[in-house]
Amino acid sequence: GYTVYLKGGKNNVITGLFARNANSSGYGLFIQDSDTNTVTQSYLLGGDRGADLDAGADYNVISLSTMIGNSSIGLVANGADSNTVTGSYMWGGSYGVDLIAGSDSNVISFSTMIGGSAGGLYATNADSNTVTSSFLRGGANGAYLDTGSDYNAISFSSMTGTSSDGLYANAATSNTVTQSYLWGGNWGAKLDSGSNYNTISVSTMFGIVDTGLYLYGSATNTVTQSYVWGGTFGVYLNGGAGRTDISLSTMIGNSQFGLLASGSVWNTVTQSYLLGGNDGANLDTASNFNAISLSTMIGTGAYGLDANSADSNTVTGSYLRGGQNAVRLVTGSDQNTISLSTMISNSAGNA
């Protein structure tokens, strides 16, 4: 049941509301087919959901409020557009905030979103939403942009995924993340199959166990002016991740590679710093037609650049240094070009 239920109401103002329904299926607030309402300085608690903006609940404002969904979600928007949440705290047993089924053009600012077991923010088929100056934390993901969640923007925010990713995108395109901090137990950010045309800029990505930024089967993404650190790899381009453009960034792979590309083509790295406990950059099987320019590649344990069955790649205007060799090209790595570059080996007698 619903403690407070608005259906068909408009231009209502609710201040200082305490709405509590601890029943396992209870909602603190439910709004449906109601526009331009305001809820402020209120406490909304449900056994299931703290607040639910259902179909046709548009242009509503929630401010300076707390929304708690004990077993499920702090705030749900289901087919609800152009709503604003600011200065608020949202906690759910699963998700802090859930934007679903065509919930578009909503704005969340200066707020905290915490999902106990899953994600701080989950969006599916939700477009053109904005999150800014907020804190997102989940037991799995800080923020999860699922299938068909496109043209969303996250800025000036912190995304923490305790067990998995700071940011996870799956078949989500044309989203932007800027001036944000992404921390994950495994991956700082992961762009999975079909997550194309996304941009991450002026941000920090930490993947504690695995990778700072992992792209799998995703194309035409851009990373610029960012710091990417992974316990294993800084950046990992895999499974046909193609036409990725990385510039003005730092990539550090603590135990392995600053950059690993496997089966990935037509990627570009420029004006960047790549450092790995093993290799600075590693171009693995069928990583072809990639270009690295005006960059530094340092592999403290092995090679500045290591290519294995990787063809037609170019390195220009760069500095390469390795604990063993500056560069290693092996096992059918053909038609690669290195020009206007410096190659230094820390091992006597090697180049």
What CA–CA distance (Å, rounded) separates 264 from 150?
24
Each residue's pLDDT tens digit, 110-122: 999 999 999 999 9
3-state secondary structure 206-267: EECCCEEEEEECCECCEEECCEEEECCEEEEEECCCECCEEECCEEEECCCEEEEEECCCCC
Amino acid letter, 228:
V
For 33, residues 6+ apart whose C-beta sits below 8 A from its C-beta are 7, 8, 54, 55, 56, 57
Pairing of strands 337-339, 314-316: parallel
What CA–CA distance (Å, rounded) separates 267 from 350?
29
Each residue's pLDDT tens digit, 69-110: 999 999 999 999 999 999 999 999 999 999 998 999 999 999
Please tell me the predicted confidence (pLDDT) of residue 336: 98
Distance, C-alpha 285 to centroid of its chain: 27
Q: Which residue ranges of the chain lie beneath pLDDT 70?
A: 348-351
Please tell me the predicted confidence (pLDDT) of residue 346: 86
Amino acid letter, 214:
Y
**271 exposure class (CB count in 10 Å sphere: 0-12, 13-18, 19+):** middle
Q: Are 331 and 308 in contact (CB under 8 A)?
A: yes
Q: Please name which of 88, 71, 76, 93 lies closest in space to residue 30, comparing C-alpha atoms.
A: 76
What CA–CA distance (Å, rounded) separates 326 from 328?
7
Q: What is the pTM of this model?
A: 0.97
Please tell me the predicted confidence (pLDDT) of residue 79: 97
Q: Please name which of 70, 22, 80, 151 lies closest in space to residue 62, comparing C-alpha atoms.
A: 80
Secondary structure (DSSP) of 287-300:
--S-EEES-EEEES
What radius of gyration, in Å, describes the C-alpha atoms of the chain?
23
